[in-house]
Amino acid sequence: MPRLTLHVLLTILMCLYSSLSRADVRVLDFSQQSNVELSGTWHYYPKQLTVDTSTLAAISVELPNSFAVMLGEVNHHGIFRQTFEIPHAAIGQPLALFIPYQYGAYRLYINDKLMLKVGQVGAVNQHRTQMAPRLLIFTLDKAEFDIRLDFSSYQHIRGGPQNALVIGYEEPIRRHFYSHIIPATWVSGMLVMISLFMALFAIYRLKLRQPILPLLFLSLFILCFSLRSFFAVPFTYTLFTSIEWLWGTRIEYLLTALSCLFFINYIRYALLNSLHYGIYAFLSCIICANFLVILSQPPLIFQDFFFKSFAASILLFLNMLYGIYCIFKYKMPFSKANALAIAILCITFIHDYLLGLKLINSTEIAFYTSCIYFILVTIHLSRDYAVQSQQAISYNQQLLRLNQSLDQQVVERTYTVIQLNEQLKRQLKLDGLTGAYNRYALDETLQQYFNTPYNQPVSVAFFMLDVDFFKNYNDAYGHLYGDQVLKDIVVVLQQQLPPDGFLARYGGEEFAMLVPNLSLSEAQSFADGCLMAIRQLNIPHLKRLDTKSHVTVSIGGVVMDHQHVYADAKALIHCADSHLYQAKQQRDCAIVR
Q: Is 509 a catalytic residue?
A: yes
Contact between 343 and 320 under an 8 Å Cβ cutoff? The reply is yes
Furthest-apart CA pair in the chain: how many Å? 123
Q: Please identify which of the residues 144, 170, 244, 509 carries the catalytic annotation.
A: 509
Please report the beta strands in 448-562, taking only residues with DSSP state E, as ranges in sequence order: 460-467, 502-507, 510-516, 553-560
Q: Which has the closest alpha carbon to 285: 309, 259, 302, 301?
A: 309
Helix (H) or strand (E) holding 99: strand 95-99
Neighbouring C-alpha atoms within 13 Å toward the C-beta of 302: 23
Helix (H) or strand (E) holding 84: strand 76-85
Return the DSSP state at 163. Answer: S
What is the DSSP pairing of strand 590-592 with strand 553-560?
parallel
User: What are the φ/ψ torsions at residue 421 (nearest 5 degrees)?
Assistant: -65, -40
Q: What is the 3-state secondary structure (H, E, C) of 108-150?
A: EEECCEEEEEECECCCCCCCECCCCCEEEEECCCCCEEEEEEE
Neighbouring C-alpha atoms within 13 Å toward the C-beta of 490: 24
User: What are the φ/ψ torsions at residue 364 (nearest 5 degrees)?
Assistant: -65, 130
Tell me how long the chain is.
Answer: 593
Residues 6+ apart with CB under 8 A from 302: 250, 253, 290, 293, 294
Q: What residues act catalytically?
A: 509
